[in-house]
Amino acid sequence: MTTIALCPSCDGYGWLEDDEAGAAEECGWCAGAGYVYRDERGVDRAIPTADYAAVAPELERLETERLRDMGYTGSAIKPWEQQVRGENMARMKRDNGQSG
| Residue 7 lies near Zn ion (rule: CB under 5 A) | yes
| Residue 52 lies near Zn ion (rule: CB under 5 A) | no
3-state per-residue secondary structure call for 23-82: EEEECCCCCCCCEEEECCCCCEEECCHHHHHHHHHHHHHHHHHHHHHHCCCCCCCCHHHH
Residue 13 DSSP SS3: coil
User: Among the candidate windows 25-33, 39-47, 52-60, 74-82, which touches Zn ion by CB under 5 A?
Assistant: 25-33
User: Residue 95 Cβ, how far from Zn ion at the closest point, in Å?
Assistant: 27
Q: Cβ closer to Zn ion: 27 or 84?
A: 27
User: Residue 100 Cβ, how far from Zn ion at the closest point, in Å?
Assistant: 31
Out of 30, 47, 56, 84, which residue is the one contacting Zn ion (CB under 5 A)? 30
| Residue 88 lies near Zn ion (rule: CB under 5 A) | no
Q: How far is the C-alpha of 87 from the C-alpha of 17, rounded, in Å?
A: 32
| Residue 9 lies near Zn ion (rule: CB under 5 A) | yes
CB 11 within 8 A of CB 35: no
